[in-house]
């Protein structure tokens, strides 16, 4: 058994490149087309004329290198959107813009507040997907071609393959090739036999997986598009005891995709009966939520019967084909405001929005219908905070120390003047525009500021009226979402993962076996293998196949059982260094470290 031994493992990709260029003359068709990866053609200069340039540009765009650069740019471009508030959270954007007035115009121009729909972000991913299409279409055809053709014929010099084995046997070449064919078929190789040469190939699923993965990326893109075009969502804050019908006018905010308008809304509704919340009462996370549950009644159709239901975080409710999610919750103090003439100018629950996890909430009571002593309109407003569990300290002032209603208090300032509602601009009900309002002062000049317990009344100076803190209701806010593209996204995602696994875990490789009379009556069996990647494993596989052939083609004892490496050298002959990097030259003899 002749034994030659030459080198350690190789590098996945490098092997492929070897096969593709450096050694293609030696291996011929055998080494080619072991993948559908496009050859790098960037070095070529553009041909003449416009067509030549266009073709050159297309080739650039669809090259792996440009795909790589585009991927890199995509990840860079995604960064600003994670650090700068985005328009989906308008409150934060407003706060940011107020805080950074100098940079805001520039950011606005660059689309920094809506990065993921900005032209430059879109440009990158569109280019990437064009590149991807330009890449996978030809690769798919090439792959189909490879599937329909047979494994390439045995190369002349099997010794030049990354893994190689040979031995002499008494069996005839026909017996050996028949056995080899059986063995390779048994290992689920695709086999093609010419004379006494057997060629086998396996692992086509790698290529298929890779193509499937890249196609699935398109699926994801389409699903994303469907979601944003056909999906819609509306937000609604409901105070305990109130109801909601799925009607455009009822939403606090509504955003529908281009293909989904307000007229597509399903008829249904629900009412909030009560809201249950429990909180950790001790421990390090004291005050953080433990259960949040909205108890509701819902109905479908114009006159459906109300059914009891509940909505909690992670457990949305499906009503009439739409899904209703619980988003947040809080308290709404119930107040009665009397104006200067003693008439009730406002009565009702006013939702206050929580500002921290312990329930400190801010809110505004707007009283547009108030009259002054003379019966002239004099709008009133109250602004302040609500604390479910009142606490006071020097640094933070009044705040809440626990989110449950243990010691509720309402702390308000009072204003009068013009609310600005008549200006016709839509107003945020949670914010007070004080440009045309004056804050009320006590006779001693102090600003009016009162902390009220439920049942308390604050009387305004100068007989301007009063506000009574009647009680507290809970509120919850919901997102009603019409969903589209979910299934497509899920299926594409699953296909992407499967494709990836095929692409990364399956090795595509070829094994050739040739049996020829050696001239002295023996048969010389030669076996070589070439992997699209990873040569260590192909060597093991060759060893396994060789072992499997032993019963049919037993190896004869080797005349020289322990050939020295120099002989091995002679056997393989003049192997050109495939790559002329300095690293490829032989290690310096003086240098024991090279082998250390």
Q: How far is the CB of 549 from another protein (least distance, A)?
A: 9
Q: What are phi and psi of 11, to 5 degrees?
A: -105, 135
The one among 132, 337, 365, 460 contacting ligand HEM by CB under 6 A: 132
Q: How far is the CB of 144 from ligand HEM (least distance, A)?
A: 16
Decide whether 131 or 523 has the Cβ nearer to ligand HEM.
131
The one among 24, 86, 250, 328 contacting another protein by CB under 8 A: 86
**Rule CB under 8 A: is residue 12 a binding residue for another protein?**
yes
Q: How far is the CB of 217 from ligand HEM (least distance, A)?
A: 5
Distance CA 204, CA 147 (A): 8
> ∠ CA(286), CA(290), CA(293), 5° rounding?
140
Query: What is the Cα 22 distance to its own chain's centre?
Result: 39
**Rule CB under 6 A: is residue 349 a binding residue for ligand HEM?**
no
- From ligand HEM, another protein, none, which one binds at residue 323 (CB under 5 to 8 Å depending on kind)? another protein
**Rule CB under 8 A: is residue 30 a binding residue for another protein?**
no
**Rule CB under 6 A: is residue 128 a binding residue for ligand HEM?**
yes
**Rule CB under 6 A: is residue 535 a binding residue for ligand HEM?**
no
Decide whether 262 or 315 has the Cβ nearer to another protein.
315
**Alpha helices, DSSP H, located in 149-198:** 173-186
Contacts of 522 (CB under 8 A, 6+ apart): 168, 169, 170, 556
Distance CA 177, CA 172 (A): 9
**Rule CB under 6 A: is residue 15 a binding residue for ligand HEM?**
no
In the range 493-512, which residues lie near another protein by CB under 8 A? 493-494, 496-497, 500-501, 504
For residue 541, which of 201, 167, 36, 191 has the smallest C-alpha distance?
201
Q: How far is the CB of 550 from another protein (least distance, A)?
A: 5
Q: Is 510 helix (H, G, I), strand (E, B) or coil?
A: strand
- From another protein, ligand HEM, none, which one binds at residue 214 (CB under 5 to 8 Å depending on kind)? ligand HEM
Q: Is 467 helix (H, G, I), strand (E, B) or coil?
A: strand
Residue ranges of E strands in 240-378: 243-245, 253-256, 268-279, 289-300, 307-312, 317-319, 322-338, 344-349, 353-354, 361-367
In the range 90-129, which residues lie near another protein by CB under 8 A? 115-116
Pick the stretch among 90-98, 210-218, 238-246, 478-486 that binds ligand HEM (CB under 6 A): 210-218
Contacts of 308 (CB under 8 A, 6+ apart): 295, 296, 297
Residue 121: both structure tokens together: 């972000």
- From ligand HEM, another protein, none, which one binds at residue 45 (CB under 5 to 8 Å depending on kind)? none
The one among 189, 244, 268, 292 contacting another protein by CB under 8 A: 292
The answer to whether 351 and 237 are in contact (CB under 8 A) is yes
The answer to whether 390 and 384 are in contact (CB under 8 A) is no
In the range 320-359, which residues lie near another protein by CB under 8 A? 323, 325, 327
**Rule CB under 8 A: is residue 577 a binding residue for another protein?**
yes
In the range 484-513, which residues lie near ligand HEM by CB under 6 A? 503-504
Q: What is the DSSP letter of 46?
A: P
Q: How far is the CB of 571 from another protein (least distance, A)?
A: 9
**Rule CB under 6 A: is residue 131 a binding residue for ligand HEM?**
yes
In the range 38-67, which residues lie near ligand HEM by CB under 6 A? 62-64, 67
Q: What is the DSSP letter of 195?
A: T
Please report, as ranges, the residues that interact with ligand HEM according to CB under 6 A: 35, 37, 62-64, 67, 71, 128, 131-132, 135, 210, 214, 217, 503-504
């Amino acid at each position: 058994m002749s034994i030659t031994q030459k080198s350690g493992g190789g590098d996945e990709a490098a092997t492929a490149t070897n096969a593709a260029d450096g050694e293609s003359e030696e291996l011929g068709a055998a080494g080619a087309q072991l993948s559908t990866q496009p050859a790098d053609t960037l070095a070529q200069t553009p041909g003449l004329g416009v067509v030549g340039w266009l073709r050159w540009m297309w080739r650039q765009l669809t090259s792996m290198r440009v795909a790589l650069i585009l991927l890199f740019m995509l990840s860079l471009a995604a960064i600003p959107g994670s650090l700068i508030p985005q328009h989906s959270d308008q409150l934060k954007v407003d706060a940011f813009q107020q805080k950074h007035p100098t940079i805001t115009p520039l950011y606005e121009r660059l689309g920094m507040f809506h990065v993921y729909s900005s032209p430059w972000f879109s440009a990158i991913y569109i280019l990437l997907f064009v590149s991807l299409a330009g890449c996978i279409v030809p690769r798919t055809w090439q792959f189909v071609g490879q599937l329909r053709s047979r494994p390439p014929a045995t190369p002349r010099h099997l010794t030049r393959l990354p893994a190689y084995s040979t031995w002499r046997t008494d069996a005839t070449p026909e017996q050996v090739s028949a056995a080899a064919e059986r063995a390779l078929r048994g290992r689920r190789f695709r086999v093609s036999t010419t004379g006494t040469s057997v060629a086998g190939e396996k692992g086509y699923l790698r290529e298929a997986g890779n193509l499937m993965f890249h196609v699935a990326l398109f699926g994801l893109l389409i699903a994303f598009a469907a979601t944003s075009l056909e999906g819609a969502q509306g937000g609604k804050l409901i105070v305990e005891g109130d109801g909601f019908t799925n009607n455009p006018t009822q939403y606090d905010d509504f955003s529908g995709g281009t293909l989904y308008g307000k007229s597509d809304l399903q008829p249904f509704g629900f009412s909030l009966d009560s809201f249950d919340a429990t909180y950790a009462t001790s421990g390090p996370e004291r005050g953080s939520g433990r259960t949040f549950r909205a108890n509701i009644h819902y109905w479908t159709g114009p006159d459906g019967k109300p059914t009891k239901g509940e909505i909690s975080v992670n457990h949305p409710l499906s009503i009439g084909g739409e899904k209703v999610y619980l988003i947040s919750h809080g308290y709404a103090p119930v107040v009665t405001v009397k104006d200067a003439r003693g008439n009730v100018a406002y009565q009702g629950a006013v939702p206050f929005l929580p500002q921290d996890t312990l329930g400190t909430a801010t809110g505004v009571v707007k009283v547009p219908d108030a009259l002054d002593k003379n019966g002239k309109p004099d709008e009133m407003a109250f602004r302040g905070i609500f604390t479910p569990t009142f606490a006071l300290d020097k640094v933070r002032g009044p705040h809440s120390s626990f989110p449950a209603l243990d010691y509720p208090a309402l702390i308000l300032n009072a204003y009068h003047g013009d609310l600005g509602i008549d200006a016709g601009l839509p107003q945020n009900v949670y914010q007070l525009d004080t440009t045309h309002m004056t804050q009320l002062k006590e006779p001693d000049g102090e600003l009016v500021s009162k902390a009220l317990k439920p049942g308390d009344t604050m009387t305004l100076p100068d007989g301007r009226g009063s506000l009574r803190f009647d009680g507290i209701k809970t509120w919850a806010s919901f997102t009603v979402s019409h969903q589209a593209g979910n299934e497509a996204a899920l299926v594409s995602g699953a296909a992407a993962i499967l494709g990836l696994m095929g692409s990364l875990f399956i090795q595509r490789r070829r094994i050739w076996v040739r049996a020829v009379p050696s001239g002295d009556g023996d048969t010389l069996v030669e076996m070589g293998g070439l992997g699209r990647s990873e040569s260590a494993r192909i060597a093991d596989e060759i060893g396994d196949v060789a072992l499997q052939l032993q019963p049919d083609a037993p190896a004869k004892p080797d005349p020289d059982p322990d050939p020295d490496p120099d002989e091995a050298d002679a056997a393989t002959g003049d192997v050109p260094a495939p790559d002329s990097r300095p690293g490829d030259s032989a290690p310096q003899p003086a240098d024991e470290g090279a082998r250390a």
